[in-house]
Amino acid sequence: MLLKNASVLNGVFAFSNLDIEVNNGKIDNLYIQNEYNTTNHDEVLDLSGYRILPGFIDIHTHGCAGYDTMDATYEALNNMSRFMAMNGVTSFLPTTMSETYQSIKNAFLNIRNAIDKGVEGADIVGIHMEGPYFSKQYKGAQNEKFLRLPSITDVTELQELSGRNIRIISIAPEIDGAMEFIKEVSKDNIVISLAHTGADYDTALKAIEYGAKHATHLFNGMAGLNHRAPGIIGAVLDSGLSVELICDSIHLHPAIIRLVYKLVGADKIVLISDSMRAAGLKDDKYDLGGQEIIVKDGVARTKDGNIAGSTVTLLQCLKKVVEFGIRLEDAVKMVTINPAKVIGIDKCKGSIQQGKDADLVVINDRFEVVYTFVKGKVVIGHSPIHHKDLRAPCNA
């Protein structure tokens, strides 16, 4: 298959006039437009007037379209994957939250089974375990009755149960046992992310020294930055960690997003949706981690007023940061190659380069998704092209 005549965001994140040849789910070749013969391709898709971007990667999403990771059903994950593909996401980490240990086990096993079976939309490329190892003071929308101290034994069991698919564990470093946990678990190719925490600067630095490499939804669910007590935020920004930002105009002021962009640069920011099951649906009452969530004017809150995730898509977050003044090319990095690097799949995903998976999103000038390709397969868009189902994992 040949995708031709589009403006392509190439491997160095600059727009170029390239045609993309796809074979067996991979990007086989990239050609300068009009400099070769296209007649030897069985299928040619003319994308004149469109842009082709790398497929988006959402490493922090609880749910959407009425479904949640904690539902622990194939139907939930499959429909989440379909909704995400409609909005340009080609890979994602179903994200669990603080519930009973048995509920978490059920969710992990279900994710493993969905990975083995395959889903119809965006690829599931692992698990983000958000909770239950958090500070009660900064629990946010996490259910306090399910919070507990970190357990290496539990995570070892969960890692095996999941088929070794845990990519990220979010944790508050100041709680009892956290440092030993960070030191040991980070050895298992799991990214330790600092989250829902009131840790001071020195404690956060110690966690980073022990192996923490990432920060979950920076500024949200953590102690604030103070000029005399820089705390967790100061430590993260001072240490060069990668950081998640929820850019929905609710969780963070645009000025904060621009400040972080100037301070850490385009290569360390990862945009996330942090979406819950109301994403894509109307205002109503919903469930999140066993709690009633009220969505009003698109804002999800617990009964006591805490913001409870978001109702936006990663595509909407991308559009927002561009509106806030960040270059499109840099903004796309934040939803593609940057999250791929965080979870270690950048050798096969995250950019449009020869040999990588043909995970691509085609957009028009209004930022609307025209086509989404997952491993070369058209999952969103109208095309006569048919491809065999390719579910081979991304082996970094």
Work out whether the CA dihedral 313, 316, 320, 326 comes out positive or negative. Answer: positive
| pLDDT tens digits for range 83-102 | 999 999 999 999 999 999 99
Helix axes 201-210, 231-239, angle to 10 degrees: 40
Among the listed ranges 267-271, 298-302, 330-334, which one has the minimum average pLDDT value? Answer: 298-302
Catalytic residues: 274
The pLDDT-based confidence of 241 (bands split at 50, 70, 90) is very high
DSSP state of 88: T
pLDDT at 367: 92
Residue 340 above 80 pLDDT?
yes
Q: What is the mean pLDDT of the chain?
A: 94
Identify the three-state secondary structure at position 134.
Answer: coil
List, as one string, the DSSP characters of 285-342.
Answer: EEEETTEEEEEETTEEEETTS-B-SBS--HHHHHHHHHHTT--HHHHHHTTTHHHHHH
pLDDT at 239: 96
pLDDT at 395: 53
Angstrom distances, CA of residue 67 to CA of 72, 161, 277: 10, 22, 5
DSSP state of 118: -
Residue 35 above 90 pLDDT?
no
Tell me the average pLDDT across 45-69: 97
Residue 394 above 70 pLDDT?
no
| pLDDT tens digits for range 347-382 | 999 999 999 999 999 999 999 999 999 999 999 875
For the full predicted model, state whether its pTM sits above 0.75.
yes
Residue 385 above 60 pLDDT?
no
pLDDT at 390: 42
| pLDDT tens digits for range 147-189 | 999 999 999 999 999 999 999 999 999 999 999 999 999 999 9
What domains are defined for the chain?
2-53+352-380 (2.30.40.10), 56-342 (3.20.20.140)
